Structure formats: structure tokens, C-alpha cells
Amino acid sequence: MVSVFGQDPVAADQVKETPAVLLQMMRNDSIHDDLDLAPAARRAIHETLDTIDGPWWRSRLLEVDQRQIEVARLTEALRQMLKMHLSVSQLKRVAELESQALLTKDDQPNIEKMSRQEVLATYGQPFDFTKISRTLPRAPELIDRSNQEAVLVSNWLSDQPKSMGDLRGQVVAVHFYAFECINCVRNLPHYKSWHQDLADEGLVVIGIQTPETSRERELSAVKTAAKESGIAYPLLMDPKSENWNAWGNTMWPTVYLVDKEGYIRTWWQGEMNWQGAKGEQTMRDHIKKLLAE
């Protein structure tokens, strides 16, 4: 009955923390099905997660003590919402699923000493946590306009404006870069090949240019660099680092993979093929898996 959760993937370091299993599991249809939730309850859960996910995602950047406080606050907000929409028996099952999700291999010997009746009384019917595919927040919405002299100006470098909401049903690769960053430049061919090879299968690649140098803040310079690099997918200027901050990004380059329902599934920081690493192939394999879902 050992679960697949383990260490919280949103945590920023390797300090042992109790995984935020309620936040992780309640975004999965398999959990909703196990609870036999009505459509209204499912909608309410997703609406609540939409308000929780941004702060939860960015909490990975906090110090451990602060992060634990924030995660506890967000978990309690979700728990209170569940109390409003779920029956007593459904809430009991949620508690059982949480208990199961927190089990580790170290707990297995003690469970094996228990009778079946004791296991069922403590943990309920076993749940197959291999069905869980989403344990990370929904991707933040893109911030694509900035206020320049009291006028809202689009920050898209092409006529292909996108929103994460509009891209439901497609897999999205969002990469942060700066065109004078050599590590970013070395990753660009990988993003370009994903776009060329997989766009027809449902992949959308979006580049977000968050400037580090003064020249990277010049629109004309960014456009020239993009043209010289042969970038054909949508690019978004992030002059005030608003997207960078919303995504809790910490370094150039970083690429995030977002599934068809808008949830972050994995990400890669740095050069994907640095010193013989196989990051490009690893991420390409992830993309193909998400496209097949």
C-alpha cells in the first residue's frame, strides 16, 4: 500500500518535509472518480485549486519554515472547501487517501503485521496511486501586456498571442531565455526541433524573453536575435519579469512542460545536454508521453 508521493516535488530543497498530498492528489480525475464526486464538486475543487496553485508553486522558493506555513495555509483552504461540497463518507475517504498517500517503504513492515480488518479500518480500501499523473500546480497564466505611459501594450513579438487557458487540449513547452545568455542559445535548437517535429501532433512551444542585460530590453534587438536564430514559434517579451515571478522562475534557461489540462508536469533548468547530459531526449520523451494522454 506504499504510495508514490514521497518528497513534495514543489519543495525547493532536500530537507525532509511532509508532502502536500491533499494539494497533490485532489487535481486528479482518478481521485475524483474514487470519491464518486458530482460534477459541481469537481468544478468547485478546480476553481479552488486555481486560486491556490500560484502561491503553492511559488512557495518552493521560500525558506523551509515559511514554506511549511504557506503549504499548511493552502491545504487548510482546500480542506475547508471540501467540507462544504463533500458528504461525510466522502470526507472520510479523503482522510483515508491522505493516510495512504503518506505511507513510505519504512511503514510497510508495520502494515504487514496488521490484519486485513485493521488495515481497512485504518486506511480504507487500497488506492492505486500509480493512477496519479498530476502532482504539480496548474501553470500560471501568461502576462502579455505591460503599462507603458498609461497605455497597455502587447508584449508578443509576433501576431500569435496565446493564453494558457486557450491552449487547453494541447501540450505546451514554455521556456524562459535571454538572447545573450550562451546557455540559452545552446538550448534554442532543441526548442526549434520540438516545434518543427511535434507541432502537428499538438505541441505548442512558447518562448519568454526575460531580460538580464540592458540590450535584452531592446525590442528591436530581441526581434533581430530571434530572426537570426530562426525561431518560428511565439515569443513573449517579459520586460518587468512579471512572468518570471509568476512562474517562480530562478534561472536562465528553464523549460516547463504543461499537459493538456494546463498542469505543470516537469521542468528542466540549465542546458539540456550540458556535459553529455541527455536532457533534450528526456524532455522530448516526456512531451511524447503527454501528447499521447
Q: What is the pLDDT of residue 2?
A: 45
Q: Which residue matches cell numbers 545552446?
A: 186
C-alpha cell at position 254: 528553464
Compute mean pLDDT per 10 residues along the chain, 293 residues long, and list them. 49 69 97 98 97 98 96 98 98 97 90 89 94 96 74 76 92 98 98 98 98 96 97 95 97 98 98 96 99 98
Write the pLDDT tens digit of every residue in 18-37. Answer: 899 999 999 999 999 999 99
Q: What is the pLDDT of residue 154?
A: 85
Write the pLDDT tens digit of every residue in 195-231. Answer: 999 999 999 999 999 999 999 999 999 999 999 999 9
Report how far residue 105's alpha carbon sits from residue 118's, in angstroms, rounded to the nearest whole number: 19
Side chain identity at residue 274, one-letter code: W
Report how far residue 156's alpha carbon sits from residue 144's, in angstroms, rounded to the nearest whole number: 7
Domain ranges of the chain: 21-131, 145-292
Q: Regarding the domain delimited by 145-292, which CATH topology (the fold level of the hierarchy) does it fall under?
A: Glutaredoxin (3.40.30)
Pairing type for strands 145-148 and 254-258 reads: unpaired
Count CA within 13 A, CB hemisphere, residue 283: 30
Q: Phi, psi at residue 165, to the nearest 5°?
A: -65, -40
